[in-house]
Every structure is written in C-alpha cells, then in structure tokens.
Structure 1
Amino acid sequence: MTPFLTRPELCGSFGAVASTHWLASGVGQAVLERGGNAFDAAVAAGFTLWVAEPHLNGPAGDAPIIVSHARTGKQHVICGQGVSPAGASIDAYHALDLDEIPGTGHLAAVVPGAFDAWCLMLRDFGTWDFADVIEYAIFYAVQGVPVMPQMVATIASVESLFRDHWPENAKTFMPDGVVPAAGTLLRRPVLAETLKRLKDAAAGATREDRIDAVRHAWYDGFVAEAIDRFCRVPMMDSSGTPHAGLLRSADLAAWRATLEDPVSLQDGRYTVLKCGPWSQGPVFLQQLALMRGFDVAGMDPCGADFLHTVTECAKLAYADREAFYGDTPDVPLATLLSASYNDARRSLVGERASLELRPGRPDGRVPEPGFLPPAQGDGRVASGVGEPTVSNMGVTKGDTCHVDVVDAEGNMVSATPSGGWLQSAPVIPELGFGLGSRAQMFSLRAGHPNMLAPRKRPRTTLTPSFALKDGKPWMAFGTPGGDQQDQWSFTFYMRMTRFGMNIQQAIEAPSFHSEHWPGSFWPHDAHPARLVVEGRFGADVVEDLRNRGHDVVVGGDWSEGRLSAIRREADGRLYAGANPRGMQGYAVAR
C-alpha cells in the first residue's frame, strides 16, 4: 500500500466533484452549493472544461457518459459519440489516395457529439436551465483561464502548423503572436460570443423547451451552418495535403445523442457498468472475467506477478477489441463476456510475456483477413493526433478529460469528454473552436467491424466507468488516456476491490500500461510485449518482468494515468479522490 499520499481521500455527505482540472471541480461544487443536482453540476463542469483544457477537449468533441438516477434507481449510458458524415465511405477516402483517415483536419471530423450529450442529460435529469449552466464557461472564456505547462508544450509543438496553415488557431491560442507563457491568462472572445448566442437561443415556455431550442440552434442552426461552410474549404491535415471535409449541416441535423443501457458484468458483490462495444469499454469487463481464475488477492498489488497477470489478460481482451468491436449489431458480446469463453482464453496466460496478438473465435467467428497491422510505426510524425500514453509535459498528442459528480440524493455521473483538440483541427473563425478528429479511429479495411461507413460511430477509446456494490450505486470513476483508459481504470478498481485501498491510495499507487496491440489513433502503431511502468516500481520488479519477456520501458515516477473517482457508501457518506499527476486534477467534497 502506498506509504505516502500527496493528498487525503476526501469525505463528505452533501456532494462531491472530482475531475481532471480544478476549475471544473470548483464549478461543479458551486452548482451543488446553489441547489443544483449532480447532473446540473456535471454539465456546468463539462462546459468549463472546454475553456480550461482546450488541448484535451472542445465544444465539437465527444462525451460518453454513465449516469445513475437516484429517484428511479436506474443507470443509463448517454451516447455522446457522433457519427461519420453521410458522404464518408471507404471509396471516398481511397479516391483521395488515402489508405488511412488522417489524424487531423477536416477529413477526421465526425458529427460533434459532446454538446448534445450534455444537453440531453441536462434536459432529462437536471433541474437548471441552459442559461445557468453555460454561464461559468462564458465567464472563463471572457476573463481567461491560466495556461498550464502542458498546454504551453502542446501549442509550441504545433506552432509552425498554426503559422503556416491554420492562422485562426494562431490567432486564438497565440493571441500575442507567440506561444503563451505558463500562468498567463488565455481568453477566448470568439468562443464567448458563440456561447452567448446559444444562451440567447434558449427560448421557450418550459425548461425542456428552452434546452431543446439550444440543441436546435447547434444542430439545425447557426453552428451547423458555420461548420458546413468551413468544411468546404481545404485545410492542411496529417497526410501532408490540404483537404476539404465531408461533414455537412444535414449530418448534424440528422443526429442526436441517445440513452442506452449499459453493458455490465457481475464481480462478486460488485457489478461494473460500461458503454457498449462502439466503445472499448467492454475490454474492462473481459479483463475482469479473465482475472477471475487467478488468486489476485494473494499477489503484491505492486509486484511483478500482478503486473504480469494483468498485462497478459489485457492482451487477450484488447485483441478481441481489435477483431470484433465496432458500431455494428453483430458484435458477439455475450460470448466475449461469458465464463466459458474466458475460462478457455485464460489458459493462454503463461509464465512468459506473449509476443502475439491473439483474438479468440467467439461463436466460431474468425478475425477478418488483414487484421494484424505492422508491428511498429514507420516514422510518421503523429503530432496533434491521438491521445498520449503518459502525462509528461511536452506530449503533443490530444488527450481527454474526466469528471465525476455525486450529490446528497445519490445521483451520480461519470463522464469522459474529449476531442475537438486545439492542435488537431483548424479553428472555425465564426465559432472560435475546431471540430473533432475521432474518424481517424475507423478502419478502411472492408469487412472489419470498425470499418468506415456513412453515419456510423467510430469505435472510441472514451470509456467512463461505474460500479454497483450489493446492487446499489457505488462508484463513478475514469481517466483520460486513449487505449490506456481501461488499463489504468482496471488496475485502480482491482486495487480497491482486491487489496482494500481507498480511492486516493489506488490512484496514487504506481501504475503501468501495455502497448502490445495496435493503437486506436493514427498511425495505429503496435509495440509487441512493450510494458510501460512508472519509475516508482522497484528495480527487482522491473528485472523480474524483463526476465519474463516483457519489453519494459521505465517512465517518470508520476507519469501513468489521470484518474478521478467518487464512491457512495451505504450510510450515504461520499468519498472522493483525484490524480496528482500533471498537477491539474482535483476533488472537492463537503
């Protein structure tokens, strides 16, 4: 167990908020203090994250959310993952001489999903008006937010791209003509005007009518029209060639966020809930099913046996993700999560690190030809795309945010907003923000379950987590990190449920991740047997893992994961924690 904590696990009963940025946590708690519920608070915090962490998310990004409604006792997934344009097809990209969808620019854009996800949650579960929850983001867009060192490094990494090809990005994020210094205030006047226009659009007789009016302004009104016009203008992308986009106003008008049932797996007295296989969420559940056959509680939670076993089970679960997950109705999920299937798969876990990518054959299904990618990258520069594997300063790939909220009534939210990164899309001059780039996650291989098709969701890495305990809502948790999200969250959960750690202890314990399988983001590299561990693991653990065949890369002491979590125990007490890595995450509880 961690001998020293950078901060305590917080305890309260009135309400708690935990997120990847202290401003969002403060805003969420302010909403609770003013009488809003957890859903109101989460929406206000989510809008604030657009301004506080623009290198990690934006208004045109994506936001899968898991909610638990105290009054009904039910849990729901809010799907804030937008779909591909109607004009997007494999042939359309091949006609442009592209074998992969670029990681940046217009061709990587899907319908913005986050905005409608937040609005749907506010309308169906919240109590506040849109005008009230958006006011915090408007305030910070006008007054400015302090620029964090990671944002500085991100802007610096794409400074020449901004100057040479994306001038509106330079104007927005380098307002004085230079990369802003850490600690200076970054103001977003154009974004502020866009948010004010949306606020002014909130007209109607009822709260629900007013929220729907804002949704209409975004998906059928001035926002959709501006996006349509801008996508027709060729802009530079990661292919090295300027391209116009395929996204049109009709694509936005045809899409809205939806409520879905979570996917779940029973784990003793716990039940873990995740989004469906249009996300990578079920790999958490597959890992859980595979780990059932091991005496995890008898292992050292920071020892080589634990790291090896978790990693080898993850390889099997993620291989199935690669072969079978996607926005398609025939994902064999029941089999993939079944005891019999995972009992058989568990036999593949040996004493040595596997060097292969080994998907199973659920229901007799065979991975499509060409499933396996190249074993390593080809030297292409991935600046501005994807999500980083560590939180070290200077990482230039786009990352993600996370926010958890629980109120006194027991309403709970776990949300993982992302996309629309400042470094991966040109800023729309009329709106003050750029589009998302989630389409890069599609495959252009015909027959693959995650292959590109019109109006289809890309298989996202965004994966909020939720758990019940003895059938009662217990914990909302999650982390940024792309393919690592369901590794870091899984290790966190195991350390709590198998080793008795509290939230803060489990967050701060040394962590790790594998890069064995192909990455979800362009250029989709795979690094067989690579295992990245924090420097706080003992030298004996690293040596043991290397002797088992793992390609161990030792990272910084505090480089793995950006978790936050809130749990509610049977007596109504709330416990919260947030990640010290990156020096941004904070939890608040009273």
Structure 2
Amino acid sequence: MFTTRPTLQGTFGMVSSTHWLASQSAMAVLEDGGNAYDAAVAAGFVLHVVEPHLNGPAGEVPIILAPADGPVRVLCGQGPAPAGATIGHYTSLGLELVPGTGPLAAAVPGAFDAWLLLLRDHGTRRLSEVLTYAIGYAEDGHPPVERVGRTVETVRELLETEWTDSAKLYLPDGRPPAPGTLFRNPALAATWRRLLKEAEAAGSGRETQIDAARRAWREGFIAEALAEAAARPTMDTSGERHTGTLTGGDLAAFSATYEDPAAYDWNGWTVCKAGGWSQGPVFLQQLALLPDDPAGLDYGSAAYVHRLIEGTKLAMADREAWYGDAEGPGTVPLDDLLSRSYNAERRTLLGAEASYELRPGSPDGREPRLSRHARVAAAGEALPPHAGTPGTGEPTVARDDAATVARDGAAGVVGDGGPAVVRDGEPVVGGDGATRGDTCHLDIVDRWGNMVAATPSGGWLQSNPVVPSLGFPLGTRLQMAWLDPGLPNSLTPGRRPRTTLTPSLALRDGVPVMAFGTPGGDQQDQWQVHFFLAVALRGAVRGGLDLQGAIDAPNWHTDSFPGSFYPRAMRAGGVTVESRMDPSAIAELRRRGHDITIGDPWSEGRLCAVSRNPETGVLSAAANPRGMQGYAVGR
C-alpha cells in the first residue's frame, strides 16, 4: 500500500502533532527524562507560538489521558459562559446568533489551566522546564508557516482599521509574517517570564510554583489584562462594536476539571471520548450504527462510504438535539443514545438513497429539541443575514490557496484559514464572509506506557484583538451556543458551550493502545471515524498498527447538518470527497443522490496518531501530510 511516509516505530517515545516544532519540542522533553504529560504541556505551549492562527493560551483544550498505572480520564479545559452571558443580554443587542469574533463570543479561557493541571498532577518537570521551548520561539523567533501570513492577509483590513494592536504584532511595516523570516512575539515571551518569576517567588516546590502560576492567570496580572480587553468595545461579525461579558470574577472562579470518558465497545475495541459537552459521542454513535460483525463492511466501497455518511447525518442530528451542558455533566442521554435498542431503530433509517433531512431521534421516547436557526437551515430556507465582517469558524478542508474543487462543474472551495472561495480564478474571503480559524492536535506515548491525546484550539489571531501586554487574544467559543432558551446548548452562565474539539483514545481488550485526533471543527468526528475503521479493518504493518496507511487513505466529509461556527449554515446532502477516491465509487454515490463536491487529492483532515503494542512494547506514530506541517517523531 502506498503511504506518503513510513509509520514510525521504536520503544522510547513517540510524538505526533500538527507542527514539527511542537513535535520536536515534546521529543526533547522525553529525551530529557520527562514523561508523556510533561512533553504534552511543552508541545501545547509551543503550538500557541507557532500556530497562532489555530490556537492560543486563552482558548480551550480537551485532553484524554491514559496513565500507565491508572484509568482513562478526560481533563476538561473548556471554560463556561461568563456570569453575564445571558440570552437576554445578547438578544437585547439585536443579535440572533452569538458573533463569530470579538469579546461577546469569549467564554472563560480554559486551555492554560488545563495544561498546568495536567503538568501538576501527572507530570514530573518544573513549569520553567516545559515553558522554555515556547519562550525561546516567542523571544528568538521561528520561521512561520505559510498559513499564518495568509490568515493575516484575510483580516488585514480589520486589523489595520479596528484591531490595531493585532496589526502591530502581525503586520509590522505593513507586511504579514512570511516563511523564511523570523517571526517574534516578545510580549508573549515577557508574559511567560513574568509568570515564572511570580511562580518561583511563591516557593521552591514544583507543585507550589504551578499553583502560583495558575493563580496569576486567574486572579493576577493576566486576569486583569484579559478582563480589561473584554470590556473594550470591539468590532465583531455583527458589524457593530460590542463589549464582552467576561470579568475578573469569571476568571477567578474557573478551574479545569477531570471526568470519566464517554466510551463505546465495538469489535474488541473501546473508544473513549469527552462527554456530551463536546461532540465526541458523535464518534461513538457512528460506531453504534455499524454492524457488530464488521465482516460485511467492504472498506472503501461506495456502499461503505454511503453507510458512513448516512450514519454521520443521524449522529449529527442527535448532536443538534441532545448534546450540551444543559444542567451539568451527565445530562446528555448518552446511555439511551448508545443503547442497542435505540440504534437498531435508527439503523432502519439508513436507506439506499442519500437523505437530505435533519432527523434527530427520540431516545427513551423524549421529543428532540432544535434551535430555530437549525430548523430553518434544515428546511432549506434563507438564514438570517449577517454583516459579512470577517469571522472565525473552523474549516472543512486543508488546501493551498491556488486549489479549487469541482462541484457539478462549478468552482468553489471551503478554506483552511486562508481565503475560502475561488471565484473566476481569484481567492476571496469565505463564501459566508468569514475567514476560518482552525485547531491543533497532539498525541504522545512514552516508554512507560503513558498516553495522551489533546486538541487545543480557540484564541486565534483572527478571533479577537491581541492584548498588547500579553501577546495573545481572547477566544470565541461562545459562538457554539444558541440564543434560543430551553435547549441543551442554550447560552447559559456557568455552562460550557458545546465544543467541536474531540480527541480520541482507543483500547483493545481493555488496554490503551492508540491516541489520535485531528483539527477540523464539525469534521473531526467524521475524519476520525474513517481513520479508526481503516486501522481496525485493514490490518497491521511491521507488527504494529498501520497508522500512516490509515491517515493517508482517501477521506471525505458531509455538511448535511447545521454547522457549529458562525454563520452556522447547512448544505443538505452535501458531501466533499478527495479526488483520489475511486471514480466508480464517486459515480455510485452520486447515483444514490449525494451532492458530491470533488476536492483536492490531499484535502480532507489533518490527523495525528500514536500507538503502543501492549504485548511487545513497540510504539508507533504517524502524522498527516495534508497541510504540510504535521510531523511525527520518535525512537
């Protein structure tokens, strides 16, 4: 089988992430005696520096960890809505959706505290030891990837006319960061140096210093600067300037938390995900819709792809109706949604033709609840107009600006952080008026068998103005929540907006064997299911899992449900496939009624993965060639 790279194998440690500098920084920590969790924190902070268009310290991160000597756990770094973030406040401003940019869209930042809690409870290194890599790249500079500059160009006018503090950082002398030059963020380096100084002044103990740094974030100089930024009137996707609702009290009250994972058993595998405050259970529901005996799944055939697409639609419809943080953890009816009886009933809806409907189910006889916006989108009616001010959503494909895709002979693409549509051969800002943010991912397994998967996101350079004293902006995750009352994902103070971030960890016969994930918003739990089944159904390589082969296999996604990002559109029946897919399979999918878009040959997904063979101790890793910046390292 052709692969773009080998599946790496060794016994010491393996890292895969969406940027080579983060991967190598994590490996350096492992080489220095640190464990997988030390390495993950170092890589996470490096990603804030080298992928600022994809994540930042004031964003969020769900983490799934499998300690060698303990159970699988989820560490939730998704902050809730601030105390002032009521539906009434937003609708009083004339809003029907939470804006896609600006401080009104800012949840309580969660990533920083989650990374430090992981380091304190599971790591072995000091904070200064894991922060040194990020400080170095911010202070001394790093050569930026092309997409940083391309993202800046899509919001140039906004930065130059409204978000001028961001322009000072990302458009010095009027030029965006360019490959082959050194891009520096001295304010971010100074923030971390001041943080370390205050932490070290609190005492000599490792945990004492970590907790002191967490206090400085929640209650000290960082909290003060973030609260001031939220209170500053800022232009957002509504076309108006608004202040946010985030306050110092919201920051002081937040702490990352641990919880049990949602899990589903299929064909000897157990897949672990974050709970219903994420979209993670969508993965599990797609597995539940598959036959218990996979012998009848003809991998890669049109019938196989059709079945997965239709299963995705049903799972995503349930996401819209049932997922959220309505009354705290545990309220999403996961037991019912994953039950054999419910999925046997849902399986009867998987017909031979493509469905264009949004069909949430009724677990335990309960009636599904959808937002007005979702009902309008599902009915194919015109959505409310938006101002067209550049916004932030997550992309559907990874591609170069020059790329186009063919949909029934017409030009059109969805972007990856650069211009999202090609018209008359020229790229423009997204077809919905929005530029796209995205996400990062990292997976690590160490020689002791500790394993971790994390998907950091939010706090993009295009989400909010840079806080000049800190070197990074607030996030925009509240755009996930609806302004309709009474829904599981209604905007509610103290509740987490339903996130698309969804790392994965898989066990075989009860033993952790694989950590994986991808950026990509609503596509994450589509691409990951395709990857997982490629691993589960297609066998092994050199005595280990064929991670690279599964990553490189042609992928696809559907947009046949309301999107999670502003302006939350839906393309009923729409499916995007890589042009490498078998032409006969594409033709058959069209015959079945799917509205097919043929994308670039390497455009769907940015997967990372690591694994461990519990019988031999052999470690494996692979990374996605799409996007041209993800790499695996290890030995």
Q: TM-score range by the shorter chain?
A: over 0.9
Contact 1:297 1:499 in 2 (8 A): no
Give the alignment of 1:525-544 within 5 angstroms. 525-544=569-588
**Inter-partner Cα distance in structure 2 for 1:78 and 1:270:** 22
Contact 2:238 2:389 in 1 (8 A): no
* Alpha-carbon offset, residue 333 of structure 1: 1.0
**Inter-partner Cα distance in structure 2 for 1:303 and 1:425:** 44
Counterpart check, 1:587 vs 2:632: yes
Counterpart in the other structure of 1:446 = 485
* Alpha-carbon offset, residue 309 of structure 1: 0.5
Give the alignment of 1:367-386 within 5 angstroms. 367-368=368-369, 370=372, 371-374=374-377, 375=380, 380=386, 381=388, 383-386=390-393
* Alpha-carbon offset, residue 424 of structure 1: 1.4
Aligned residue identity for 2:220: G
Aligned residue identity for 1:29: M
Aligned residue identity for 1:234: P
* Alpha-carbon offset, residue 350 of structure 1: 0.5
Counterpart in the other structure of 2:89 = 92
Moved runs in structure 1, 4+ residues, more than 6 A? Answer: none
Counterpart in the other structure of 1:77 = 74
Q: Deviations over 1:366-390 (max 9, x none)?
A: 1236352323666754744110001
**Inter-partner Cα distance in structure 2 for 1:217 and 1:588:** 34
CA, structure 1 residues 334+112, in 2 after alignment: closer, same or farther (shift >3 Å)?
Answer: same
Give the alignment of 1:280-299 within 5 angstroms. 280-292=279-291, 296-299=294-297
Structure 2 unpaired stretches of 5+: 402-414, 418-435, 541-545
Counterpart in the other structure of 1:340 = 341
Aligned residue identity for 2:522: D
* Alpha-carbon offset, residue 182 of structure 1: 2.6
Counterpart in the other structure of 2:451 = 412
* Alpha-carbon offset, residue 296 of structure 1: 4.6
Counterpart in the other structure of 1:431 = 470
Contact 1:461 1:520 in 2 (8 A): yes
Q: Secondary structure at the match of 2:61?
A: coil
Q: Secondary structure at the match of 2:633?
A: strand
* Alpha-carbon offset, residue 297 of structure 1: 4.0
Aligned residue identity for 1:62: E
Q: Secondary structure at the match of 1:247?
A: coil
Normalised by the length of structure 2, the TM-score is 0.91
CA, structure 1 residues 335+382, in 2 after alignment: closer, same or farther (shift >3 Å)?
Answer: farther
Counterpart in the other structure of 1:387 = 394
Q: Secondary structure at the match of 1:309?
A: helix
Aligned counterpart for 2:171 among listed residues 174, 187, 190: 174
**Inter-partner Cα distance in structure 1 for 2:295 and 2:563:** 31
What is the number of equivalent residue pairs in this alignment? Answer: 586
Give the alignment of 1:295-374 within 5 angstroms. 296-329=294-327, 330-368=331-369, 370=372, 371-374=374-377
Counterpart in the other structure of 1:37 = 35
Aligned residue identity for 1:37: N
**Inter-partner Cα distance in structure 2 for 1:408 and 1:373:** 52
Aligned counterpart for 1:561 among listed residues 585, 599, 605: 605
Normalised by the length of structure 1, the TM-score is 0.97
**Inter-partner Cα distance in structure 1 for 2:584 and 2:551:** 22
CA, structure 1 residues 42+550, in 2 after alignment: closer, same or farther (shift >3 Å)?
Answer: same
Aligned-residue sequence identity (percent) comes to: 55
Q: Deviations over 1:289-336 (max 9, x none)?
A: 00126x654444322111100000111111000000001243211100
Q: Secondary structure at the match of 2:453?
A: strand
Counterpart in the other structure of 1:493 = 532
Contact 1:24 1:49 in 2 (8 A): yes
Counterpart in the other structure of 1:191 = 188
CA, structure 1 residues 214+247, in 2 after alignment: closer, same or farther (shift >3 Å)?
Answer: same
**Inter-partner Cα distance in structure 1 for 2:515 and 2:343:** 26
Give the alignment of 1:106-255 within 5 angstroms. 106-203=103-200, 204-255=203-254
Q: Secondary structure at the match of 2:151?
A: helix
Contact 2:326 2:487 in 1 (8 A): no
Contact 1:373 1:518 in 2 (8 A): no
Aligned residue identity for 2:242: H
Counterpart in the other structure of 2:566 = 522
Q: Secondary structure at the match of 1:581?
A: coil
* Alpha-carbon offset, residue 364 of structure 1: 1.6
* Alpha-carbon offset, residue 393 of structure 1: 2.8
**Inter-partner Cα distance in structure 2 for 1:176 and 1:419:** 27
* Alpha-carbon offset, residue 179 of structure 1: 2.2
Contact 1:107 1:245 in 2 (8 A): yes
Q: Deviations over 1:380-422 (max 9, x none)?
A: 5474411000111343300000000110000011000000000
* Alpha-carbon offset, residue 178 of structure 1: 1.6
Aligned residue identity for 1:477: F
CA, structure 1 residues 372+464, in 2 after alignment: closer, same or farther (shift >3 Å)?
Answer: same
More off after superposition, 484-493 vs 381-390: 381-390
Q: Deviations over 1:263-284 (max 9, x none)?
A: 1111121110000000000010
Aligned residue identity for 2:538: F
Structure 1 unpaired stretches of 5+: none
Q: Secondary structure at the match of 1:27?
A: helix
**Inter-partner Cα distance in structure 2 for 1:378 and 1:303:** 39
More off after superposition, 278-287 vs 372-381: 372-381
Aligned residue identity for 2:41: V
Give the alignment of 1:498-509 within 5 angstroms. 498-500=537-539, 502-509=546-553
Contact 2:277 2:325 in 1 (8 A): yes
Counterpart in the other structure of 1:479 = 518
* Alpha-carbon offset, residue 121 of structure 1: 0.3
**Inter-partner Cα distance in structure 2 for 1:552 and 1:362:** 31
* Alpha-carbon offset, residue 177 of structure 1: 1.8
More off after superposition, 508-517 vs 377-386: 377-386
Aligned residue identity for 1:217: A
CA, structure 1 residues 209+562, in 2 after alignment: closer, same or farther (shift >3 Å)?
Answer: same
CA, structure 1 residues 98+379, in 2 after alignment: closer, same or farther (shift >3 Å)?
Answer: closer
Aligned residue identity for 1:268: N
Q: Secondary structure at the match of 2:24?
A: helix
Q: Deviations over 1:502-549 (max 9, x none)?
A: 100000000000000000011010111000000111221111111000
Counterpart check, 1:53 vs 2:72: no
**Inter-partner Cα distance in structure 2 for 1:573 and 1:335:** 38
Contact 2:236 2:389 in 1 (8 A): no
Aligned residue identity for 1:325: Y
**Inter-partner Cα distance in structure 2 for 1:184 and 1:303:** 46
More off after superposition, 300-309 vs 465-474: 300-309
**Inter-partner Cα distance in structure 2 for 1:305 and 1:386:** 31
Counterpart check, 1:11 vs 2:12: no
Aligned counterpart for 1:546 among listed residues 587, 590, 598: 590
* Alpha-carbon offset, residue 136 of structure 1: 0.5
**Inter-partner Cα distance in structure 1 for 2:578 and 2:17:** 22
More off after superposition, 216-225 vs 175-184: 175-184
Q: Secondary structure at the match of 1:436?
A: coil
Counterpart in the other structure of 2:425 = none
More off after superposition, 365-374 vs 152-161: 365-374
Contact 2:239 2:389 in 1 (8 A): no
**Inter-partner Cα distance in structure 1 for 2:185 and 2:173:** 13
* Alpha-carbon offset, residue 560 of structure 1: 0.2
Contact 1:153 1:393 in 2 (8 A): no
* Alpha-carbon offset, residue 122 of structure 1: 0.2
CA, structure 1 residues 176+587, in 2 after alignment: closer, same or farther (shift >3 Å)?
Answer: same
